[in-house]
Chain A
Amino acid sequence: MPVVKLRAPLTELTGGKRELQLDGATVRDVLQALENEHPAIAGWILDERTTIRQHINVFVNGERGREDTTLTPEDRIHVLPSISGG
């Protein structure tokens, strides 16, 4: 299964887990699976449109990903706040 890697403060919403194996065919699927497993994180990465929030970056194996980026079981997904501002 794909692995999602998180940093603080998101890890505070997953009981301290920094890496989670989650099933899904796309980035959206995996992030929704993350919300199902850890409901406290709902609304923090995906908004109510199931769109990745504007200032969150998702990388799949080091490449910028989107909600509809397709995944394989070996993929690694990093969720990071974007570098915003000057």
Chain B
Amino acid sequence: MTELLVGTKKGLFTLRGGDSSFEISARAFAGEPVEFAMRDRRSGRYFACVTSAFYGPKIFVTDDLAGEWQQAEGLALPEGEEKALIRLWTVVPGIEDDHLLAGGDPGVLFESRDGGMTWELNRPFWEQPTRPQWGPGAGGMCLHSIATWPDDPGKLAMGISAVGVWLSDDAGQTWRHGNKGLVPRYIPEDAREDTIDLCVHNMHRAPSQPERLFMQFHGGVYRSDDAGESWIDIGTDTGLPSDFGFPLVVDPGDADSAYVIPLVADLDRVTPDGRVRVCETRDAGASWTERGDGLPAEDAYLTILRQAFDRDGSGEGMGLYFGATSGDVFGSGDAGATWLTAATKLPPVHSVRVA
């Protein structure tokens, strides 16, 4: 039995199912935008990032999906600042027990040391001297990707739209850029050098070879083999129908693998040719193969957002799941070889995570 947490524009839906079908087993936060939801497998605790249009961004937690959700504390910017917290984009389990990290807009990192009930702002990152020059992407200044390093809580990589990649070797006490090789085609050539206006859309580390990361950029797909210090273009002339898109998944058992869902381009953020395809590489980005058997193949102009793609397991039996703003959710139990429709007619899907 697979349990999917689907954050939507109108609440959190829990889908349960398996090889042939899924059904909605629960709904929470009815009417509220749920940007992201996940389950910390260490504790079994569920987390939901909810951004009420009226009452602002919160993280709610529960140990029982059938029970009450409780608001986590401490998710606010320092009083007296010009900015307020706008949205929470991700929650990621840390390496140490009870440690979690959360990313939000405006480009902020929070940490919890008690399993997610209370949070504190990461001050060194908040106080970056270049922060006044940072600019948001179309979705805001979202810190959406946090890549931990297996067995080493000191090493972190983060991706922000549109402030590039940030790296730390001391558990977030100091930060530096990791942008070498990224090419922002949306900036004039003579203005690209040393710019930090870098729109990372999604970034994941390959846990079996942690110095390797994959990135979906705002026009471009990249790989890093040096822990995010520099990046290699793997989206040009490698068989992708487009190098624009949002989400990305890696196979934790195979550091040469990654999956992306191409969209046409930044000015036309839908699946190319009216056809939904997941593209797989098993050679670290040297080539990509389309994996779409069972996905809509005609008249399908879907948009898949950055947190709306996840996986379960690894290898040929890896589960892949993604949702679209059309309200459709798709799943594969064989690493994308074949697909089924897990749900239709949900509200626009913001996020999908395997519980």
By a beta-carbon cutoff of 8 Å, the part of chain A in contact with chain B is 9-10, 40, 43-45, 47-51, 53, 55-56, 81-82, 84
Task: Determine how close the nearest CB of chain B comes to the CB of A81; give it in whole angstroms.
Answer: 4
Instruction: Flag if B53 contacts A48 (CB, 8 Å).
Output: no
Contact in complex: B56, A53 (CB < 8 Å): yes
Contact (A53, B55) CB under 8 Å given A40-B71, A48-B84, A48-B85: yes
> Once the chains bind, are A43 and B54 in contact (CB under 8 Å)?
no
Given A47-B84, A48-B81, A48-B84, check contact A56 B54 (CB 8 Å).
Answer: yes
In this assembly, does B190 line the interface, its C-beta being within 8 Å of a C-beta of chain A? no
**A43 contacts which chain B residues (CB < 8 A)?**
55-56, 58, 76
User: What residues on A are CB-neighbors of B84 within 8 Å?
Assistant: 47-49, 51
Partner of A50 from the list B54, B56, B79, B85 (CB cut-off 8 Å) is B79
* Shortest Cβ distance from residue A7 to the other chain B in the assembled complex, whole angstroms: 11
Contacts A10-B55, A48-B78, A48-B81 aside, 10 further interface pairs with beta carbons under 8 A come to A40-B71, A43-B56, A47-B85, A48-B76, A48-B85, A49-B82, A53-B56, A55-B53, A56-B55, A82-B54
**Chain A residues with CB below 8 A from B77, complex form:** 48
Q: Chain B interface (Cβ within 8 Å of chain A)?
A: 53-56, 58, 71, 76-85
Interface-central residue, A47, A55, A84, by most chain B CB under 10 Å: A47
> Do the beta carbons of A84 and B53 come within 8 Å of each other?
yes
Tell me if A's interface is mostly helix, strand, loop or mixed.
loop
Q: A43-B76, A48-B77 are in contact. Are A55 and B54 (CB under 8 A)?
A: yes
Cβ–Cβ < 8 Å partners of A48 in chain B: 76-79, 81, 84-85
Tell me if B's interface is mostly helix, strand, loop or mixed: loop
A9 to B58, CA, bound (A): 14
Measured in the bound complex, the distance between the Cα atoms of B76 and A84 in whole Å is 24
A sample of 10 inter-chain contacts (CB < 8 A) reads A10-B55, A43-B56, A45-B55, A48-B77, A48-B85, A49-B82, A51-B84, A53-B54, A53-B55, A55-B54
* A81 partner, pick from B54, B71, B76, B79, beta carbons under 8 A: B54
Q: Which of A40, A43, A53, A55 has the most CB of B within 10 A?
A: A43
A6 CB, nearest partner CB in chain B, Å:
12
With a cutoff of 8 Å between Cβ atoms, the chain B residues found around residue A53 in the complex are 54-56
Instruction: Return the chain A residue nearest B75 by Cβ.
Output: A43
CB distance from A39 to the nearest CB of B (A): 9
A60 to B85, CA, bound (A): 27
Taking CB atoms, residues of chain B closer than 8 Å to A45 are 55
A43 to chain B, nearest CB (A): 6
Give the distance in Å from the alpha carbon of A82 to the alpha carbon of B80 in the complex.
25
